[in-house]
Structure formats: C-alpha cells, structure tokens
Amino acid sequence: ALLSAWWVKQNIYASQFEPTRLSAKEQQVLDSKLAKLEESAVKEKPAIKKAKPYHQSVPLEPERYSEDDAKREISLSEKELNALIAKNPETAKRVAIDLADDLVSVKLLLPVDEDFPILGGKTLRLFFGVTLSYKEDRPTVAIRGVSLGGVPLPSAWWGDIKNKNLVEEFGSEGGFWDLFSKGVEDIKIREGHLWIKLKE
C-alpha cells in the first residue's frame, strides 16, 4: 500500500522539475551560438510582406553575402538545450531532456483537464524516448516508447507507431516531415550532445 501511494504521488500528483541554470561562462558560450544562428537567419531570411516593424538601436552595416558551412551546423549540449527550455519558466517546470547515443529522452509533466474522468485536475509524469539519427541519406525519427511512471504504455494507445520512422511513414505526404527530411544533411546524437547539419 505504501509503495502504491508513493507511485501515485510521484506520477499522478507529479511535482514540477527544477529549471536548468548555466554558469556565466556556459551562458556566454550558448549566447555566442545563438548569435550566429540569429545572424544567419537575418541574412538568409527572404523578405516578407506586411512584416511587423523591427527596431534596433544599432544600424545594420553593409556586408557582402557569403555562405559558411559552419553556419549550417547546430551544436548544443544537453545542458544548453535544457537551458533554452528554461527561458520559458512554465515549460522549464514541465519538460526535461536527456541526450544519449541516437536517443532523445523526454520527461514531461502533463496537466489533465479538470473535466477528464478520474484523472481530471491531476498532473501526470510521462516519459518517452525518440530515436534520432541519420541513415541511408535520410533522417530517422522514431518513438522508442512511452511510459507513465515507469510503466510502458501499449503502442496501440498512441497510434501503433512504436519504432516506426516517422519520416518514412509520413514524409511522402508532404508537410512537416517531408520538409524536415529535405532540409537536414546529417544528425548525430551522442552522450550529452546534439549536432545537426542543414543542407544548402
């Protein structure tokens, strides 16, 4: 009975996560990475009609356009990734990400609507793993499993897509997975680190 009560408290009345915080040096490294991405986005983003006015204190300097392969690469540590999530305080309390070889593991606290039977008003602790890699010239994105409080949920409950490559399953239909596949040249997930290279 005590074990059951503990499980319910941990996973049905789940408490919020502690947001990830970077040291001053770690934050400086992350800011440098983000600045490069933002700089690239400003240079390469096409003009959009009826865009909202943009104000900045320093005028843009003329600069010759060039393409640097390094700017197509996105490299983040596990801690940096969780720190980015922590920029939104509410999200930081409900999401935590772990990176291992070819695997992204996500802990998620999911509030249940008050009107939902039995579990209404509770907060569930979900845990799922996603295989993420690059094989045979295309990305592999596959849900390895979903669990509630350490109890694996049947694949039928979440669409029978366990271990199926979502890019292959849905990429031929166009839309997000097709665009994602066409825009990624390589993906590597290693212990505590994410690296993505975008295509030209």
The 10s digit of each residue's pLDDT in 89-122 is 888 888 899 999 999 999 988 877 777 766 667 7
Higher pLDDT: 164 or 62? It is: 164
Q: Cβ(21)–Cβ(86) under 8 Å?
A: yes
Give the length of the chain: 200
Question: What's the total number of domains in the chain?
Answer: 1
In a domain, 58, yes or no: no
In a domain, 17, yes or no: yes
Over the chain, what is the mean pLDDT? Answer: 79
pLDDT tens profile 139-154 = 999 999 999 877 898 9
Stretch 161-188: mean pLDDT: 88
In a domain, 54, yes or no: no
Stretch 4-21: mean pLDDT: 57
Instruction: Tell me what pLDDT residue 39 has.
Output: 61
Identity of the amino acid at 96: A
Per the listing, tokens 């300097």 go with 61
Alpha carbon distance 195, 187 (integer Å): 6
Q: Cβ(168)–Cβ(145) under 8 Å?
A: no
DSSP bridge partners of 190: 193
φ/ψ region of 91 (left if φ > 0, alpha if ψ in -120 to 50, else beta) reads alpha
In a domain, 97, yes or no: yes
Stretch 175-199: mean pLDDT: 91
Provide the pairing of β-strand 73-77 with 95-100: unpaired
In a domain, 125, yes or no: yes
DSSP bridge partners of 184: 198
In a domain, 98, yes or no: yes
In a domain, 62, yes or no: no
Provide the pairing of β-strand 73-77 with 151-152: unpaired
Higher pLDDT: 7 or 93? It is: 93
Range of the domain at 142: 2-44+69-198
In a domain, 106, yes or no: yes
Q: Which of 107, 129, 101, 127 is nearest to 192 (CA)?
A: 101
* 137 pLDDT above the threshold of 50: yes
Q: Which of 69, 80, 71 is nearest to 21 (CA)?
A: 80
Q: Cβ(84)–Cβ(74) under 8 Å?
A: no
